[in-house]
Structure 1
Amino acid sequence: MTQPFKDAVGMCKTIMRNGFDAYVVNAQLQRELLEDSTDIELDLACEAPFDEIQRMFPNVSEGSERGVIALLKEADVTYRFYPIDVEDASHPEESIARITPHLLKRMEEKYGSIPPQYACPYVPGSETYEGFEDIATGVIKFSGIPDQTLRRNYLLGIRALRFAANYDLPVEKNTWISIVKATSRILDYVPSHSIMEEWRKVEAENMWRFVELLFDSMILHGLVPELAALSRCIQIKNEDTGEEQTVFQHTIDTMRHYPEELPYDWFGTFAVLCSNVGKLYTAEFSNDTWTFNQSCRVGAKVTRKIMGRLSFLPQDIDLVCHLVKHQQFFHNLLTDRGIRRFRALDEYPRLIEMARADVKGRGIAFTAFNHNMKWIERADTPEQMIEPFLNGNEIMEATSLKPGPHVGLLRDELLKAQIEGKVNSVEEAIDFVRGYKM
């Protein structure tokens, strides 16, 4: 080993002793290029930023060439420092730099041509849009050769889908097929927390599109198979028309509507995404129809497992699971007591909007929803202040009914009529119970 190489290795050791990784780039190739050369120039790769390199080697200057962090000249030797690939999501073969722009130039000078595999050297960087063509072109497109660009950082596949959803732009065809081909590698090499960092940057209003792209690219099938499987689960969309649809499509439709009333509510929209996952485990076909008994409670348990796998914080998991568990509460025609129980739940405004989005997604009537919305306005009134104009004895006297549960039911109906403003006096109450009996 010549002295310049020994010095380069010594520099790498100094950098490593200071807590940063470092190595000599493609040492064998550099030895070949330096044979019979009077200009000794060596390329190093290191993790340290310029200010740290300068602390270790005070004589360095900032690099002006493409990708060069720092430049050091000692005696007749020039050392160039390039950045190390620190992306967790890059292909293993891309983690070690084998070529730099400077080495390419030296190869061309010595051999007169450049091997195809070295034609486009990769210099790591950290810019958000690095690896993409300008989005002003109207499409989301990887720069260079899509397959090669994606290999350098498989997180770019998730980022491309995020850009497409947020900017409402199509993914360029070659870029799209490179993502589809690399689905398994994206799932293998990109940590779940990195995927979620990208997902959290998707606007709530656009999350339905992002999930749709995850599904179409087959990434969702490996990331959250419980959700992807909903595409094979059928439900009745509208009981009046008998129209059917997949549970997954209904989930997408509901996600589109939820942010209309609560914009920017990312966690509420994510809860809508998980709202139907329990149907996969509770689906039962009987009497020519599908039923999903206890799907909300089961869905909350499955959601907890999914979110734990995706590295969510405990408090965020508790929030979403609470919404999934209680989502059906507001779908029923609630009594005054039922409304008060509903109002006592945490996050009830979100539960209201989940119900509203579900009704819109199904295209069904708002009858029960409007009824509950009207009653919820009276929930602030203390329960003891709301009494029917007639008690049980007075109802039996007015209707000649005998004691029994039907008297209590009639009393509840009278109270409903009072709350709705249909009965406003004792006389009207007597007419109501007599008419209801008939």
Structure 2
Amino acid sequence: MPQPIKEAASICKTIMRNGYDAYVINAALQRKILGTSKDAEVEICTDIDLAGLKNLFPKITAGSGDIVARMDQGSATFLFHPADMADASHPEACVAQITSNMLKKLDKDDGFPVSLACPFIPRSRDVYDGFENISGGQIKFQGIPDETLKHDYLRAIRALRFSANYHLPIEENSWMSIIRASRRVLDYVSVTDIMDEWRKVEAENMWRFAELLFDSMILHGLVPELAALSRIFQVFDEETGSRSIWEHTLKVMQRYPEELPYDWYGTLGCLFLNCGKLYAGEVYEDRTTFYQHHRIGAKVARKILKRLRLNTEEVDMIVNLVRNHMRFHFMLTDKGIRRFKAVDDYPRLIEMARADIKARNANYTEFNHNMKMLERADIREELLEPLLNGKQIMDIARIKPGPAVGLIRDNLLQAQIAGDVNTVEEAERFVAAYKAKEQL
């Protein structure tokens, strides 16, 4: 073994003893290069940064391009390259087998077969690494899409995020490579990494990201319970007829941020509102019903969200939205609206109901009624009804049934709200005084 290779191995051991990884890149190829090249250069791949290298080797200097650092020691020069740290890269791609510097040397000598080297070249990490410039008007992988994706399958999720956030289409061949690799994306990319990308999607674009996850077949493996909603149909609008629950879910997600922009959690909650319909659906006499889908959906959503690695507070928040999202769809009484306002995140539930109505193209009768009732909910419950009923008012005022009873009742209630009447005795005196004053 040439002396420079031995010294490089010793350098790698020093790095590894300090808790980092390091190895000599394609030692077999470098031995051949050292035999013919005038420059005694050995290339090393490591995950330690420049500052860390300087602590271990004071003589080290900063490199350029693909080279993180370089060090002259004895008669040899050692070049340090960044290691592939992506958890989502293909196993064969995580070991660097050739560098751009080696390729230059190979070009000068036809005696070296390129088969000795793998086409992967290590380079610094960048969120746009592997993508063409988006100024071209589309999301496109660099080089051969399948090979680019193979080196880091997280790029598939990132491409969907870029497409959704920047409102740009994904280039056809890049899109085909994502679909072909959908199973491998789920094999090599952790759920945590997927959710890290998902959290960077703006609330207004969440519906598009979910649609892309579905179209790319990634959602089918990630959350099959949601993908299955595309095969269940319901009549949401009599004019347009039945459509899939998945299509309706996307419309609700699209409508929700119109009133509560930037609400990422609320928009995510809209994604799970109908997940219970997969289990609650039942057809009877050509009519499909989904009774209690909100309660079933809360249980299903909890399992899915835990699988997606959301923390406990986030899971509880979204499950609460799923469980209570039907409350505002019914015409509520005074007591009903008070119970509704006691529910956590009730403003989000209101906007979910509004978004659902927009997606259905339905009427606002119940919704408008409940919005008016919300104003009454701020009044103390004991002030919503007068202290005396109609019969008691007629007995005290000694009047017959008629408009006068309602008039006295309304004025009594206003006096209660104003704080002028607080007890039954005061109410009786008020009625007697009002009759005498108005001469009813």
TM-score (norm 1): 0.87
Give the Cα separation in 2 of the matches to 1:294 and 1:316.
23
Structure 1 CA distance for aligned equivalents of residues 388 and 382 of structure 2 = 15
- 1:211 corresponding residue in structure 2: 210
Equivalent-residue separation in structure 2 for 1:389 and 1:60 (angstroms): 89
SS across alignment from 1:71:
strand
Superposition deviation, residue 393 in structure 1 = 4.5
1:50 matched residue in structure 2: 50
Give the one of 340, 352, 357 matched to 2:338.
340
CA contact (8 A) 1:330 1:372 kept: yes
Relative distance call for 1:34 and 1:113 in structure 2 (3 A) is closer
Partner of 2:83 in structure 1?
84
Q: Any idea what the Cα deviations from partners look like across 1:324-345, whole Å, max 9, x if unmatched?
A: 1000000001111100110111
CA contact 2:269–2:318 (8 Å) conserved in 1: yes
- SS of 1:20's partner is coil
After superposition, the Cα gap between the structure-2 partners of 1:399 and 1:275, relative to the gap in structure 1 and judged at 3 Å, is: farther
Where does residue 14 of structure 2 map in the other structure?
Answer: 14
Q: The residue matched to 1:202 in structure 2 has which SS?
A: coil
Match of 2:59 in 1: 59
- Mapped to 2, the partners of 1:395 and 1:337 lie a distance apart of 25
Mark the runs of 5 or more structure 2 residues left unpaired by the alignment.
415-440
The answer on whether the counterparts of 2:96 and 2:118 sit within 8 Å (CA) in structure 1 is no
Query: Quick one: distance in 2 between partners of 1:396 and 1:294?
Result: 46
Deviation at 1:374, TM superposition (A): 0.8
Query: What code does the residue aligned with 2:130 have?
Result: G
Distance change in 2, residues 1:399/1:251 (3 Å) = farther
Local SS of the residue matching 2:141 = coil
Q: CA deviation at 1:117?
A: 9.3
Residue number in structure 1 paired with 2:251: 253
**Pairs within 5 Å for 1:393-432:** 393=391
Post-superposition Cα deviations, 1:120-146, rounded to whole Å, max 9, x if no partner, equal 543232211111111111000111111
Deviations along 1:263-294, one digit per CA (max 9) or x if unpaired, are 00000000000010000011001122111111
Q: Paired residue for 1:404? A: none
User: Is the 8 Å Cα contact of residues 33 and 110 (structure 1) preserved in structure 2?
Assistant: no
What amino acid is aligned across from residue 196 of structure 1 in structure 2? M
Q: 99-108 or 121-130, which moves further after superposition?
A: 121-130
Distance 2:88 2:8 in 1: 29
AA of the residue aligned to 1:268: G
Q: What is the identity percentage for the equivalent residue pairs of Structure 1 and Structure 2?
A: 51
Q: Distance in 1 between matches of 2:363 and 2:83?
A: 59
Deviation of 1:36 after TM superposition, in Å, equals 3.7
Cα 1:181–1:370 change in 2 (3 A) is same
Q: Where do 4+ consecutive residues of structure 1 move more than 6 Å?
A: 394-400
Task: Choose 1 or 2 for highest CA Rg.
Answer: 2
Q: Where does 1:128-139 land on structure 2 (aligned, <5 Å)?
A: 128-139=127-138
Instruction: Please list the CA deviations of residues 63-87 of structure 1 after superposition, one character each: whole Å capped at 9, or x if unmatched.
Output: 12x3101101112211100011000
Equivalent position amino acid for 2:319 in 1: C
The aligned residue for residue 288 of structure 2 is: 290
* Contact 1:21/1:47 (<8 A) preserved: yes
Other-structure match for 1:423: none
Give the letter for the 1:279 counterpart: K
Q: Which range moves more in the overlay, 119-128 or 99-108?
A: 119-128
Q: 1:29 to 1:249 in 2, by over 3 A?
A: same
Tell me how far apart the structure 1 counterparts of residues 197 and 127 of structure 2 sit (CA, whole Å): 11
Q: Which amino acid aligns with 2:241?
A: E
Equivalents in 2 of 1:214, 1:311: separation in Å? Answer: 18
Cα pair distance change 1:126/1:363, threshold 3 Å = same
Partner of 1:35, secondary structure, is helix
| Alpha-carbon distance between aligned partners in 1 of 2:144 and 2:134, rounded to the nearest angstrom | 17
2:372 is aligned, of 371, 374, 379, to: 374
Q: How many residues were matched structurally? A: 403
- Name 1:40's counterpart in structure 2: 40
User: What stretches of structure 1 of length at least 5 have no aligned partner?
Assistant: 401-410, 420-438
Map 1:29-428 → 2, pairs under 5 A? 29-64=29-64, 66-111=65-110, 115=114, 121-238=120-237, 240-241=238-239, 243-387=241-385, 391=389, 393=391
Q: CA deviation at 1:115?
A: 3.4
Give me the whole-angstrom Cα distance separating, in 2, the residues matched to 1:368 and 1:287: 28
Partner-residue secondary structure (3-state), 1:123: coil
Q: In 2 relative to 1, CA 151–348 (structure 1 residues): closer, same or farther, beyond 3 Å? A: same
Aligned partners of 2:234 and 2:120: how far apart in 1? 52
- Alignment partners' CA distance in 2, 1:387 and 1:2: 98
Structure 1 residue 99: Cα displacement: 0.6
* Cα distance change of structure 1 residues 78 and 380 upon mapping to structure 2, 3 Å threshold: same
Counterpart-to-counterpart distance in 1, 2:218 and 2:115: 31
Which letter does structure 1 place at the counterpart of 2:221? G
Contact (CA 8 Å) 2:97, 2:118: kept in 1 or not?
no
Query: Could you tell me whether the CA contact under 8 Å between 1:25 and 1:43 is conserved in 2?
Result: yes
* Displacement after TM superposition at 1:297 (Å): 0.9
1:39–1:76 contact (8 Å) kept in structure 2 = no
Query: Are 1:16 and 1:22, in contact at CA under 8 Å, matched by a contact in 2?
Result: yes
For residue 169 of structure 1, report the CA deviation from its aligned partner: 0.4
Q: CA separation of 1:103/1:332 partners in 2, compared to 1, >3 Å: closer, same or farther?
A: same
Please report how far the alpha carbon of residue 242 of structure 1 lies from its aligned counterpart in structure 2 after TM superposition. 7.3
1:117–1:130 Cα change, 3 Å: farther
Q: Distance in 2 between matches of 1:280 and 1:371?
A: 31
